Structure 1
Amino acid sequence: MEVLTTKVAIIGSGPAGLLLGQLLYKAGIEHIIIEQRSADYVSARIRAGILEQVSVDLLTQAGVDQHLNQQGLPHSGIEILTQGIKHRIDLTALTQGKQVVVYGQTELTKDLMQARTQAELSSFYEAQDVQVHGFYDMPFVTFEHHGIQYRVNCDFIAGCDGYHGVCRASVPKENIKTFEKVYPFGWLGILADVPPVAEELIYVQSDRGFALCSMRSKTRSRYYLQVPLTDKVEDWSDQRFWDELSKRLDDESRQHLVTGPSIEKSIAPLRSFVTEPMRFGKMFLAGDAAHIVPPTGAKGLNLAASDIAYLSSALIEFYTEASAQGIEQYSEKCLQRVWKAERFSWWMTHLLHRFENESEFDLKIKQAELAYVLGSVAGQTTLAENYVGLAYEGKAML
């Protein structure tokens, strides 16, 4: 067995793990990334595409914002379509100048991987049988890579390995509590090289179900439809998708809709999920390993970034100031932000989707709530503040 020694062992090479690695590298802190999937698989995953301003600022601190600044699409507002009428939420005006940036997670992952390659930092892709050990006392990680058994002795383990990862699964059940809500529908999404139907995102509430018109660039669009969980991707031809999307849009948007062959098509179930706590001795959970949100509120990637802001700050403080305060407060600070984002994502999902067995009374109440939000400066401000991202609480990188 080959034995390696480092300060931080990062499990998972998604945006959370890569961003943590980049921030630790900038601070001169030794670390290793261990990933079960191949680099090609990781870089090709289709995921979220909306960044809060605080996430953009964090990427700037990490020195990986060059392509983001060149190719990202700043958005100062969103539109909500209900009962055939579009209502614009002016994010920038309602939040004293804040905005969001549309930039695909695929591109962000590639930027972080490229920065890591250029810095010649240590990564193990296609690692097999990854196991975490001793994280309440003397942590180490074992895995197999290209037929060689490895042991990594470390000070800390960062579990950035997603919902199905080994880190959370390794915590004794009596030491962890989970909260979960599973929604009775999914999002059917397609990616297509066609211009977006509008310059800003359109969130659609319709009698036929929710829809979202989004984009990845000025020539590549991302569209979603609410569908039953019983639907299969093969049930949906491209033509059927475009026909159904058209039926959920207003007349103006329908006229501007450009259709084309899909590059990628998939159905994602929706769930809300939170783990408490997010720290177990010397192991931390971050990103999807600790929490999942329905994508309606555009919070998944941004919550991962905020976890990393707190975690990187805590680790840097530990190694540069010999202070464990950030480490001790990591879980509490993250969860304060997580639960606020969970609430907003749940609220947006409930407000804009049709639910099975929804009574006429429930539907009328929902329509009244949406009418209030759209017709009230206070209601719009609440939506806008949450959408662009709430401020960090306490000490973080930002």
Structure 2
Amino acid sequence: MRTQAAIIGGGPAGLLLSQLLMKAGVSTVVLERRSRDHVLSRIRAGVLEWGSVEALRRAGVGGRMDAEGEVHHGVALGHTNHQFRIDFTERCDRAVMVYGQTEITKDLYAAQDAMGATIIDEAEDVALHDLDGTAPRVTWRKDGVAHELTADIVAGCDGFHGIARQSIPAGKRTEFERVFPFGWLGILSETPPVSHELIYSNHERGFALASMRNPHLSRYYVQVPADERVENWSDEAFWDELRRRLPHDAADGLVTGPSIEKSIALLRAFVCEPMRWGRLLLAGDAAHIVPPTGAKGLNLAIGDVALLAEVLTAHFAGDAAALDTYSDRALERVWSAIRFSVSMTNLLHRFPDQTAFEQRLQEAELAHIERSASAQTTFARNYTGLLT
């Protein structure tokens, strides 16, 4: 087999890249380790910066998002069981869209199927070869049969634990990482959201987040120690703890019900530099991880892919220097998002060795944001997409 772009990873990043490249006349093959049903079963975030909304529209997959997604014009921050709202429209004339990652993936699969895309699921033992040459190869096994693909470039969209980044020699990449000493215990429940917009809450017992997937499906989180186990938390215990940490007016209106999914996500910040080696270019979680505070993970992946599609289209049109621009341009946005997400994480969470003095400083900083129009403008511009 031969193609212009071999794409490793069939999640939203890989599928969106294939969609954009095929629309530009570039041939692709997508390799995914898991089955399609497994990919569609992943529960992920769904807060889209407006730049991401526009990127999905350009890819031709924005119809259902525009019909079913919810536009949010602000967000609430809480401290000492009190909340205040930051109005995105007033502060920076932007908004965000709430539309689940699973729904985006469904839309991309449908669009790719309609275009006749080559998507190979359940590809085992994927390996990358000759990445520093002019004709990289990809090998894999499916149903016990060995296969090989020759490509002009390889795009690594296979996530943090994938093989793409690991295929770059250790001496050719630098990795930066901070692992946080806590995680988010999250539940999904078929209940109306406590608020029509997200609430991020600082509390002396720990962070809490009230979010949603749609008007009938809520997603809630509470901060827990990194070594906590899901089995230690009944639904009743979760709801009780969430009520303690939310602003009082939100807690009073909380509608509870059985959880339909419960899990713990650990928090880390990670960046690999560079995001290109030879004919391999990384995008999304294969190159970077951000703490979920600030909802930047999916947006960074979409930003990477939009840029990568632009660069590869130029490359295949004859621009010999196009590939050289990708890593630096992508990393500028990555580090901007890391800065915001980490600062927001530090502001809203309780650390194991945190003193009462440090708790009061967090509360004072949140009170400053509440009083300051300029601080709210800075927050709004970062949250809705500083570089989009």
TM-score by length of 1: 0.96
Amino acid at match of 1:343: R
Q: Distance in 1 between matches of 2:321 and 2:297?
A: 26
Alignment of 1:92-107 (within 5 A): 92-95=89-92, 97-107=93-103
Contact 2:272–2:287 (CA under 8 A) maintained in structure 1: yes
Amino acid at match of 2:112: R
Does residue 336 (structure 1) correspond to residue 328 (structure 2)? The answer is no
Alignment of 1:5-20 (within 5 A): 5-20=2-17
Residue 249 (structure 1) aligned to one of 226, 246, 253:
246
Partner of 2:75: 78
Partner of 1:365: 361
- Structure 1: runs of 5 or more not aligned: 393-398
Where 1:367 maps in the other structure, the secondary structure is: helix
Residue 166 (structure 1) aligned to one of 163, 168, 173:
163
Where 1:29 maps in the other structure, the secondary structure is: coil
Q: Distance in 1 between matches of 2:320 and 2:100?
A: 35
Residues 167-190 of structure 1 show CA distances to partners (whole Å, capped at 9, x for unaligned) of 111111000000000000000011
Residue 65 (structure 1) aligned to one of 41, 62, 66:
62
Partner of 2:149: 152
Residue 124 (structure 2) aligned to one of 117, 122, 128:
128
Does residue 108 (structure 1) correspond to residue 104 (structure 2)? The answer is yes
Q: Distance in 2 between matches of 1:43 and 1:325?
A: 37
Q: Distance in 1 between matches of 2:173 and 2:2?
A: 28
TM-score by length of 2: 0.98
**Displacement of 1:67 after TM fit?**
0.7
**Displacement of 1:324 after TM fit?**
3.1
Partner of 1:25: 22
Percent of pairs with identical residues: 51
Alignment of 1:109-258 (within 5 A): 109-137=105-133, 138-258=135-255
Q: Distance in 1 between matches of 2:354 and 2:248?
A: 27
Contact 1:314–1:324 (CA under 8 A) maintained in structure 2: no
Q: Distance in 2 between matches of 1:98 and 1:83?
A: 28
Q: Distance in 1 between matches of 2:248 and 2:327?
A: 48
Where 2:55 maps in the other structure, the secondary structure is: helix
Q: Distance in 2 between matches of 1:267 and 1:284?
A: 30
Partner of 1:293: 290
**Displacement of 1:33 after TM fit?**
0.1
**Displacement of 1:81 after TM fit?**
1.2
Partner of 1:317: 314
Where 1:136 maps in the other structure, the secondary structure is: coil
How many residues in Structure 1 have an aligned counterpart in Structure 2? 387
Where 2:192 maps in the other structure, the secondary structure is: coil
Q: Distance in 2 between matches of 1:165 and 1:92?
A: 39
Q: Distance in 1 between matches of 2:51 and 2:249?
A: 34
Where 2:111 maps in the other structure, the secondary structure is: helix
